[in-house]
Amino acid sequence: MVEHRMVDVNGVRLHIAEQGDGPLVVLLHGFPESWHSWRHQFGPLADAGFRVVAPDQRGYGRSDHPEAVDAYTILHLVGDVVGLIQALGEEKAYVVGHDWGAPVAWHTALLRPDMVLGVAGLSVPPPFRGTRAPLAAMDKRFGGRFYWNYFNRPGVADAEFARDTRTALRKFLYSASGSAPHTGPRRQPLVEPGQGWLSTMPDPEVLPEWLTEDDLDALAESFAKGFTGALNWYRNLDRNWELTAPWHNATVTRPALYIYGDRDIVPAFPGTPELIENLPTLMPNLWRKPLKLTGCGHWTQQERPDEVNTALIEFLRHVGAA
């Protein structure tokens, strides 16, 4: 049974969900999600002999929402993971992340390899720091229309998403999933001038089978404090690039697993397909080749829980045996 409590780490209080006993597995959600996005992983991982903990990360759900934008840098987020592992009485853990949680997991392995037994990322591949700040690069490439740039306009996306939180989340989840109609090559997520991010997203009359009304209710409730904390993660993209300069050209050396869907827009971002193709060469401790799930969209562990659980358990057991 999943249990809930609050934990003080790194200057904030984090709400965590936990189940099971054994080696610690920390599950890190993405945007716009919560601990609930891992609901299908708790039972199988706990039954496989692991202690599973999923926090609402800072700025989300019942966890603290610091007001300062610069309280959401990658160093703060990694610090939360490090603090959580220690607060749970452990010295090491497996770290798994999806969407924004994946860069946090990858950077935890990069910055604190001594504390990471193995690392897995879903949707977002391992970080290889570019030569230009990401917001500036996307601004130039897409004329300010890329959604990262839209999210960086103070208060704009915050207000758009908060006007009807449940509808916004329903559109987010459906449009980026493998359940939405997909024809031709995946287009980049652009926001046209004078339009909102949600304006071109389809709103399904019936939810896809992997998402229930209760799931949507739980997610909407977790955004009762609004979206600003979550959006502040994006507002630190260039700051993160500056802060990670000491790790330029550094590689994640811990045993690693990468899983993504072939209908996910993130692996189609500029330069990302080439990165994924070269991952086995770039990362000597990558376990097998990247696992591509046919027909799967962005919400990897929710859309394909059985396949994700099987791969995670095999990976965790492989690393443990080694």
Give the sign of the dihedral formed by CA 280, CA 312, CA 292, CA 96: negative
Mention every residue, 6+ apart, whose C-beta is less than 8 A from residue 228. 59, 65, 155, 158
Catalytic member of 80, 99, 107, 264? 99
- Sign of the dihedral defined by the CA atoms of residues 117, 122, 128, 131, in that order: negative
Question: What is the C-alpha separation between 14 and 7, in angstroms, rounded?
Answer: 5
- Measure the CA–CA gap between 305 and 67, rounded to whole angstroms: 35
* Dihedral angle sign, alpha carbons of residues 73, 129, 107, 142: positive
**What strands lie across the sheet with 93-98, from one edge to the other?**
3-9, 12-19, 51-55, 24-28, 93-98, 116-122, 256-261, 291-293
CB 25 within 8 A of CB 51: yes
Exposed (0-12), middle (13-18) or buried (19+): which is 38, by Cβ within 10 Å? buried
CA–CA separation, 23 vs 16, rounded Å?
17
- Convert 246-259 to b/e letters by CB count within 10 Å (16 or more is b): eeeeeebebbbbbb
The first and second tokens of residue 84, run together, are: 């959580």
Token pair of 28, please? 């890190």
Out of 15, 76, 98, 298, the active site residue is 298
Cα 96 from chain centroid?
9
* Active site (annotated) includes residue 298: yes
| Torsion sign over Cα 77, 297, 205, 208 | negative
Contact at 8 Å (CB) between 123 and 272? Answer: no
Which residues are known to be catalytic? 99, 298
